[in-house]
Structure 1
Amino acid sequence: MTAHRTFKLIAPSGYPVDPDAVHRGLKRLRAQGHHVEGTGATERRYQRFAGTDGERAAELNRLADPSRKLPDIVLAVRGGYGAVRILHGLDYEGLQRRLTDQPVAFVGHSDFTAIQLALLARAGLTTFGGPMLMSDFGAEDLNDAMQQHFWQALTKPTLTLTSTVPQPRNVDVSGTLWGGNLAVLASLVGTPYMPPVEGGILFVEDVNEQPFRIERTLYQLHLAGILERQQALVLGDFSGGKSFESDNGYDLNAMVEHMRSVVGIPVITGLQFGHIPNLVTLPVGADAHLVADAHGFKLTASGYPFLS
């Protein structure tokens, strides 16, 4: 276990629909000796959101206030929907001034992808795709691998992931590591909140989406010229999507093979990132090196702020 840390909770999207999971998550973090601030974020309600748009934007903007002490970790309570509604209301200049070169870890995934990509695009801030309070720290059974990797990613200057999932071609590329939830990322195409990453290593995941919907969204990135500007596309977890008899043999594997023939860059599979218990934590905006072959892949990241 790492040193005792200060967590600041934020809820930029939906309100927590599982109060018991929130309670478990808070209890576990406190039992480990951590200090948790901002628990009011778990109690706000406005329609399906964790407060009004103004309340949720102000929660993030307070981190730009130089009179306030910064936490070690800014942890998203949950995903859902709603982050895109507050992107225009964030103080990117203030957040950039306060947080550049500061070891504050913003962590979350799913709908939080919108916040992460906007912070990268507008403020140049590196964040972490990783666990959230309700679904991960508050799970009925806390996943040890998830928790161990979370602390390794946040407290070490380099991060290395390995996989034994065979890849169809040899790959050796370097670039900016970026990405997150596929649907949320694609929704930012054509907006000022989409990072203009050139030569990057793009990772994506999604949940409860049929293969054709995943393909359609990847096609959007392809036809928009985003994929061709990357060194590689790394696919995380896409569980929960159902296949139907009318698919006639078209499944996730068929979709992946088709996209490999279309996009013109390496498509890597097997990344343990997404809506899964054992998700890894990834620095969004870090320098990365990806090597892959028939025996699997290795992804190394560095050059990101970490907690000493």
Structure 2
Amino acid sequence: MSSLIFPPYVEKGDRVIILSPSSKIDKSFLKGAKKRLKSWGLEVVVEKHAGSANGTYAGSIKQRTEDLQNALDDEKAKVILCSRGGYGAVHLVDKLDFTLFRRHPKWLIGFSDITALHNVIQQNGFASLHAPMARHLTVEPDEDFCTSALKDILFGHFQPETADAVQTSKEGFSYVCSGHKLNRKGTAKGILRGGNLSVFYGLRGTPYDIPAEGTILFIEDVGERPHAVERMIYNLKLGGILERLSGLIIGQFTEYEENRSLGKDLYGAIADLVKEYSYPVCFDFPVGHVTMNLPMINGAEVTLETGRKEVKLSYTIQTLT
């Protein structure tokens, strides 16, 4: 087991590129994100089509691909911030050239639909950041926990100003969260991978699917009906993914009606699907379409310790560049 290659940490004066690879965005959030990132001492470049619109998308496929390719190729950039998710990143995954990116790797930031791009980045051997995007950086205050955590990871500090849920050490840092009655106790090491379940599911069986062996998988989703979530997790079960994992983190499933159509609540249905496996399983982890959306380093080596009262997700940083 080995972590993926980490892009360099940023320093003041480094370049961040903001772009919109999926749905169109309110331009006020582009301005807000730019302001927040500049306050960190970073140079901020907003790509040409970041504020464009083509139907529900932030520009045509050609325009969005052009912006992302330009960002991947930029030798001075250290970070690519995706402004929002929605839908549309899948249009770009097979159109990208990583030749220059491999020489000058950079952090890709985003979640939701950006899961598709995380998978592509990982397929090319690099870690990336499943983390809040432009709206969060615009509307949340300076002391927001997830904003501080994102900043500290990017700068390699690992000491968020609000440390209620973080422990730091010479070896790395840990998120410490409340437990859940459905948690399966245990400890496991693995490579952290995951993101939005629907997007992850849509790439199953493609070159951009993620490997199951040695993976601690985290999943979240928004607006999906319980039976649709169950169907997707059955796919992971029947496809042999679940049995090969090292651990499983169930994040936030939001904006759906808990109508107990499955005969139980959603978490209960998921718990039944994974009860035969021996690895640790964590429920209600703070990641997803919520304000408390902890930055997760896709491709990092982690240790997951789950209990009924507490969950600890620890990142190892000795190998970071």
> TM-score surpassing 0.5?
yes
Percent identity among equivalent residues? 28
Question: Which amino acid is 2:107 matched to?
Answer: A
Secondary structure of residue in 2 paired with 1:45: coil
2:104 is aligned, of 79, 90, 98, to: 98
Displacement of 1:45: 2.1
Q: 1:31 to 1:95 in 2, by over 3 A?
A: closer
Counterpart of 1:79 in structure 2 is 85
2:194 is aligned, of 164, 170, 179, to: 179
Counterpart of 1:69 in structure 2 is 75
- The TM-score with structure 2 as length reference comes to 0.83
Q: 1:303 to 1:124 in 2, by over 3 A?
A: farther
Secondary structure of residue in 2 paired with 1:14: coil
2:175 is aligned, of 156, 161, 166, to: 161
Displacement of 1:171: 1.1
Residues 132-169 of structure 1, C-alpha deviations (whole Å, 9 max, x = no match) = 11x21123666711111112222337331111214643
Displacement of 1:27: 2.9
Secondary structure of residue in 2 paired with 1:206: strand
Counterpart of 1:110 in structure 2 is 112
The 1-side partners of 2:111 and 2:147 are apart by 15
Q: 1:63 to 1:247 in 2, by over 3 A?
A: closer
Q: 1:31 to 1:265 in 2, by over 3 A?
A: closer
Q: 1:152 to 1:55 in 2, by over 3 A?
A: same
Contact 2:262–2:269 (CA<8 Å) still a contact in 1?
no
Q: 1:210 to 1:305 in 2, by over 3 A?
A: farther
Displacement of 1:105: 1.6
Q: Which runs of 5+ in 1 are unaligned?
A: none
Q: 1:248 to 1:198 in 2, by over 3 A?
A: closer
Residues 29-60 of structure 1, C-alpha deviations (whole Å, 9 max, x = no match) = 33444321024343222222212222222222
Question: Which amino acid is 2:59 matched to?
Answer: G
The yes-or-no answer on 1:190 pairing with 2:198 is no
The yes-or-no answer on 1:130 pairing with 2:131 is yes
1:292 is aligned, of 306, 309, 312, to: 306
The 2-side partners of 1:106 and 1:80 are apart by 17
Give the CA RMSD over aligned residues: 2.5
The answer to which of 157-166 and 214-223 deviates more is: 157-166
Counterpart of 2:162 in structure 1 is none
The answer to which of 251-260 and 140-149 deviates more is: 140-149
Contact 2:250–2:285 (CA<8 Å) still a contact in 1?
yes
Question: Which amino acid is 1:261 matched to?
Answer: K
Bigger helix fraction: 1
Q: 1:256 to 1:61 in 2, by over 3 A?
A: same
Contact 1:61–1:95 (CA<8 Å) still a contact in 2?
no
Q: 1:304 to 1:64 in 2, by over 3 A?
A: farther
Counterpart of 2:316 in structure 1 is 302
Q: 1:304 to 1:271 in 2, by over 3 A?
A: farther
Q: 1:304 to 1:180 in 2, by over 3 A?
A: farther
Residues 69-125 of structure 1, C-alpha deviations (whole Å, 9 max, x = no match) = 3223210011011111111101134433432xxxx221100000000101112x111
How many residue pairs end up in the alignment?
Answer: 296
1:7 is aligned, of 12, 16, 19, to: 16
- The TM-score with structure 1 as length reference comes to 0.86
Q: 1:138 to 1:40 in 2, by over 3 A?
A: farther
Counterpart of 2:251 in structure 1 is 236
The 1-side partners of 2:277 and 2:68 are apart by 36
Contact 1:136–1:142 (CA<8 Å) still a contact in 2?
no
Counterpart of 2:59 in structure 1 is 51
The 2-side partners of 1:148 and 1:79 are apart by 21
The 2-side partners of 1:287 and 1:184 are apart by 23
Counterpart of 1:38 in structure 2 is 46
Secondary structure of residue in 2 paired with 1:238: strand
